Chain A
Amino acid sequence: MIDQSFPNEQEIARSGELTQLFFERSVTSEEKDELLDLWSRYPVLKTNSIEEYEIEQDLHFLGNGSRSLLRYHTEAEHYFSSQVAEREATRQAKQHENGLKKNVAAKTSAKKNKKSLPFGLLVSVIGILFIIGIYSEFRQPRPKETIRETSKGFASVRSTIDVQWNDDASIFKPNSRLDKDRLVLKSGVVEIELDNGSRLVLEGPADFQLDDIQKAFCHQGRISATITPEGSGFVVDTPFFSVRDIGTEFVLDVSEDKAEVHVISGQVETNRLASDWIPLPQDRGLSFDRMGESQKIVADRRLFMSSKVLADKTKVHQERQREFKNEFERKLTGDNSLQLWIDFSDEERSIFSNRATAAKNNVSVRSFGTASPIDSNTGTKAIEFRRTSDRIEINGLEKCRSMTLIVRAKLKHLQHASNVLLASRDYEETSGGFLWQIDRFGRMQFHVRRPGDQSADTFDSPPCILGKDLNTWTVFALVLDFESETLIHYIDGRVAASFPFDAMDELHLDRLLLGNLPAMRKNDTARFFPGLYDKLLIFSRALSETEITEFSDDRAGKR
């Protein structure tokens, strides 16, 4: 007797087919009717489709979506950590200030009883001046480098050489922190240091997922691993087998057809399909193919990327970068549309002394406050705006219709509502005045005042500056094209957002500011630049995407 309440094999298969068509968004009217009819006759098929729907969503999420979720989760964590740190800094500053006030009051009262009155008065005055000095210092508490101190993750990118990333959204620069990230590169070399001192060198093409400080998954690529005693037990899974390190050096080479492990020093253990761990000693290797067949091999030391080999490659890479930079600068010097070029790492082009001026075609550049050169971790120079009034004023640039702004900078955090890259002096009031900044959510913003309008036109990108982009050198660019009526935000040569832009007569470049811009009037907004500033270039034309990429290419930078 046939059970009429349960579908047969054909009906089950057909329901699966139609459900798949639904996922592909290509279900026709007849197919829709057929599927709904099957569901109404056999509720179990509807249940099956709902379960398939769940798995379908999960598979898409694993395939693409988890990176986005992790990115936003990491951003939220960084934001809260920095808020807590800033509140703590403010609380400590207030405690310190209260402590000083009490001390000075006690000392002043003790000295009043002494016969040497003039001396007592002097001490009081000095004490009061000291308090005023300390109070001024703490009135606007400077945010600490909270992102670096509180950054999560368990590894960092130490260096990259000629890396071409597979996906623009997952680019990791030197000093980027890593936390369960997947690194997918078409070519080049990435050196990763785990927080326990272990070192992994990844050679592309590669697809490598960090799970935690003791675990990773290598889908493809070659890894040279140097594992410290603290990192002993580090496991790398592959589609073919797993490797567990016991404080050693080894190479893992995974391709589509096979995977090999070569033990350079010490010992590893291998495991396939949850069997026992089998030791593999120094100078030995193992190769697995797609069918699961294994073969013992002799370890090939030439495959291992040691520190020395990496250092040699880095030297060659840096030499190429220098050559490119020289050639690039020669080309720039011949470009008539280049209105301004400040390079704080180059003493001939930069301004370091207080109130120094540098004239270039009637353009004056002046610094105010205590902007001074500092050496960053890499020994290169840049400029930092430490006090609230530290800034650079640029006067005398010509008005223009099309323009390109390029800034190379390293942001320490995004705690301010307005983290300004460049602005017109009287942006709040001047028609044609503009403001180019990054908000606390990592959105690049361009605001411009049109004639006769009270409010500004705003052009905001989606959030594109992420936690991993902080404390790394980044090239920001803005291109305004009068001819094609477009405005484009770029980050490291990639388009972050693009907008139609109604042409206006002229943009005012005659009085520009960069750095910290205190609020001059009651309703003005105080704006800051929290980080290091390296280069500023202003062109009176719209550069092409290719030209922007040349600025952002690793070869054009410091490293």
Chain B
Amino acid sequence: MMYSVAKRYVPAPDLVQDVLQQVFIDFLHAAVENDWDENFEAGPILNRMTRNRAVELWRKRRKEFSVDYQEIADTLLDGHIESFDENDLEELNASQRLNALRNCVRSLPPKSRKLLEEHYGKGVSIKQLAEKQNAKPNSVRQIFSRLRVKLKQCIRKNIPDCPDD
């Protein structure tokens, strides 16, 4: 759930990780001070903490990115937030989506799956992948774009109630 909230306010995966790490520390700190126990309803407060931390982090760290990147990111994030009701926790079915995505990746042809594993699992860049395949980087970029569209369609099939973003 926290992951779903964080990625709607920060544009990059590494920033999402930073947000989650900080929110957990904030949460444990607050739990000690307020003497919460395992019956405490943590959902709403975690939701709020994540959103606040994410907004704060992007405000502080946006200078690390180029102005052009910032402009695209702000447009993407605005579009993302418009389509999302953060009070409706039923929509934040992150684990269902991630499980569906995992299964969809597993069902891809081996070549496509390997591309994804190299890039997202091992951090091999698009340029390096293009060199390995003797292809142009833009061709590989198009492949990744098509794969993402394919995975989105596959997830929709696996989760019938998956909302259209």
Contacts and interface: CB of A to CB of B under 8 A. Distances in A.
Interface string B128-165: 00000000001001101110110110000000000001
SS class of chain A's interface: helix, strand, loop or mixed?
helix
A27 B98 contact: no
A81 B39 CA distance: 11
Nearest to A48: B149
A452 B101 CA distance: 59
B120 A60 contact: yes
A29 interface: yes
A79 B28 contact: yes
B92 interface: no
A16 B142 CA distance: 6
Contact of B152 (A16, A51, A64, A440): A51
A58 B98 contact: yes
A59 B120 contact: yes
A276 interface: no
A70 B119 CA distance: 22
A61 B31 contact: no
A441 interface: yes
A72 interface: yes
B98 A69 contact: no
* Interface SS of B by simple majority: helix
Residue in A31, A55, A87 whose Cβ sees the most chain B Cβ within 10 Å: A55
B62 interface: no
B68 A24 contact: no
A533 B146 CA distance: 56
Given A16-B145, A21-B141, A32 B71 contact: yes
Contact of B3 (A36, A63, A69, A84): A69
A48 B79 CA distance: 11
Contact of B116 (A35, A59, A75): A59
Contacts of B146: 16
A61 B16 contact: yes
Given A54-B7, A54-B165, A463 B72 contact: no
B141 A16 contact: yes
A278 B87 CA distance: 47
Contacts of B3: 61, 65, 69
A32 B72 contact: yes
Contact of A57 (B16, B27, B37, B117): B16
A54 B80 CA distance: 9
A28 B68 contact: yes
B151 to A, nearest CB: 6
Contact of B75 (A17, A39, A65): A39
B17 interface: yes
Interface in B1-31: 2-3, 7, 11-13, 16-17, 20-21, 24-25, 27-29, 31
Contacts of A265: none
Contacts of B31: 79-80
Contacts of B83: 50
B126 interface: yes
Contact of A58 (B71, B97, B110, B119): B97
B72 A35 contact: yes
B132 to A, nearest CB: 14
Contacts of A47: 79, 165
A441 B25 contact: yes
A290 interface: yes
Contacts of A61: 3, 13, 16, 98
Interface in A1-33: 13, 16-17, 19-22, 24-25, 27-29, 31-32
Given A36-B71, A55-B101, A239-B110, A13 B126 contact: no
Nearest to A15: B145
B69 A17 contact: no
B76, B80, B125 pick with most chain A CB within 10 angstroms: B76
A524 interface: no
Contacts of A55: 101, 148, 151-152
A484 interface: no
Given A62-B105, A65-B17, A17 B145 contact: yes
A61 B152 CA distance: 15
A435 to B, nearest CB: 20
Contact of A65 (B11, B13, B102): B13
Contacts of B29: 441
Nearest to A35: B72
A153 B98 CA distance: 21
Nearest to A33: B68
A66 B98 contact: yes
A28 to B, nearest CB: 7
B28 A36 contact: no
Interface in A476-511: none
Contact of B72 (A36, A69, A239): A36
Interface in B34-68: 36-38, 65-66, 68
Contacts of A84: 37-38
A56 B165 CA distance: 14
Contacts of A59: 101, 105, 116, 120, 148, 151
B102 A27 contact: no
Nearest to A30: B68
Contacts of B105: 59, 62
25 contacts: A16-B145, A17-B141, A20-B142, A24-B126, A25-B66, A36-B71, A50-B79, A52-B148, A53-B80, A57-B7, A58-B98, A59-B105, A59-B116, A59-B148, A60-B120, A63-B117, A64-B121, A65-B20, A66-B98, A69-B3, A69-B20, A75-B28, A76-B24, A81-B38, A441-B28
Given A27-B69, A63-B119, 11 more contacts: A25-B65, A46-B75, A51-B152, A52-B149, A58-B101, A64-B121, A65-B3, A65-B20, A72-B20, A76-B24, A76-B28
Ordered nearest first, which 10 A-B pairs have the shortest CB separation?
A: A16-B145, A63-B120, A60-B13, A32-B68, A20-B141, A72-B24, A80-B38, A55-B148, A63-B121, A57-B7
